Amino acid sequence: MSTVTTIERFILDHQPRHARGELTNLLYDIALATKIIAHKTNRAGLIDILGEAGQMNVQGESQQKLDLYAHTIVRQICDHTGRLCVMLSEEEEDLIPIPARYKKGSYVLVFDPLDGSSNIDVNVSIGTIFGIYHCVDEALRGRVEDVLQPARELVAAGYVLYGASTMLVYSTGDGVHGFTLNPEYGEFLLSHLRLRLPEPPAYYSVNTAYYNRWSPGVQRYIDWLQGKEPDSPNVSARYIGSLVADFHRNLLRGGVFCYPAENNRRDGKLRLIYEAGPLAFLAEQAGGYATDGRQSILDIVPTHPHQRVAFYVGNRSLVERLEAFVRQEAGTAQPHG
């Protein structure tokens, strides 16, 4: 029988020698929270049978929207363990402080508890995204400065995909590793060691319904992806509309995911700190690249916790080509090979 590696074992084996175990335990807390979320999302279709959101279910408990439920689970599992100084969630406008009655830790957790939640009702894959930073000043309790760090400073990042099976994919800066939840044991087991974006890439992913809202440079880039230029790549289109699922597919098959800025939405739709940043970190760890069109997502210093950003991520060859089209549009084009 081949060796089975649980996520707990893997995280422990891969922590640096000087580690105090705080990050290891935080990653394990996140894995635990997402196992609980996975259990709940798997029962999502039963809500119609067992009770609508806002009503009492058969156990007499009030039903919660799943994204709020996921937010609460992560928050409750992580707020009292002494590993965090502050949290930021897509589901809460304000920073989430660690209550004064609990010990404060030295890490910062940013997360989107359930991304793609409009897909829940139609049984399409959804996901949780997370990023972990060191707090800026260990002597202080969490402040906004702690979450306004560029993604290049991430200590770890990852996502959990609730799909045909549940997968946790993460990196602490030493490659990207994937674990598949075995529902019989309730354990994440190592299934994908050192993921790399394959070449040549297979897919491009973008919502072409918004074509008329994009700048001419972005339109020309999408035309290029669609095979309209002599040097177009040979890529096929796939778009789920669920960021984690689109990113995951492209990570395994190679490709580029695009969510451009639009005429009426100059900063795009996706969030920098807890969506684009962590996925950009993973992409670079897998040999890829992420940009807003002008600079690496990893170098953007956020000015607001819920800031949005245009987002292109995937194989470096495809993503850098977008930057070339944008430069060309700005009239500062470099000759492209």
Site residues (vs ligand AFP, CB under 6 A): 115-119, 207, 241-243, 246, 269
* Joined tokens for residue 181: 């939840």
Least separation in angstroms between residue 311's CB and ligand AFP is 9
CB of 194 to ligand AFP, least distance (A): 26
The amino acid at 79: D
Cβ of residue 169: shortest distance to ligand AFP, in angstroms? 16
Decide if 42 contacts 191 (C-beta within 8 A).
no
Pick the closest to residue 127 from 9, 216, 41 (CA basis): 41
Cβ closest to ligand AFP, residue 53 vs residue 140: 53
Nearer to ligand AFP, 133 or 259 (CB): 259
By beta-carbon proximity to ligand AFP, the closer residue of 146 and 246 is 246
DSSP readout, 235-292?
-EE---S-HHHHHHHHHHH-EEEEE--BTTBTT-SSBIIIIIHHHHHHHHHTT-EEES
Pairwise CA distance, residues 33 & 309, whole Å? 27
Using CA atoms of 177, 29, 109, 127 in order, give the dihedral in degrees to the nearest 10: 60
Kindly state the smallest distance separating residue 257's Cβ from ligand AFP, in Å.
Answer: 8
**Minimum distance from residue 66 beta carbon to ligand AFP (Å):** 11
Element (H, E) at 321: helix 316-329
Whose Cβ is closer to ligand AFP: residue 143's or residue 265's? 265
Q: Residue 8 or 267: which CB sits closer to ligand AFP? A: 267
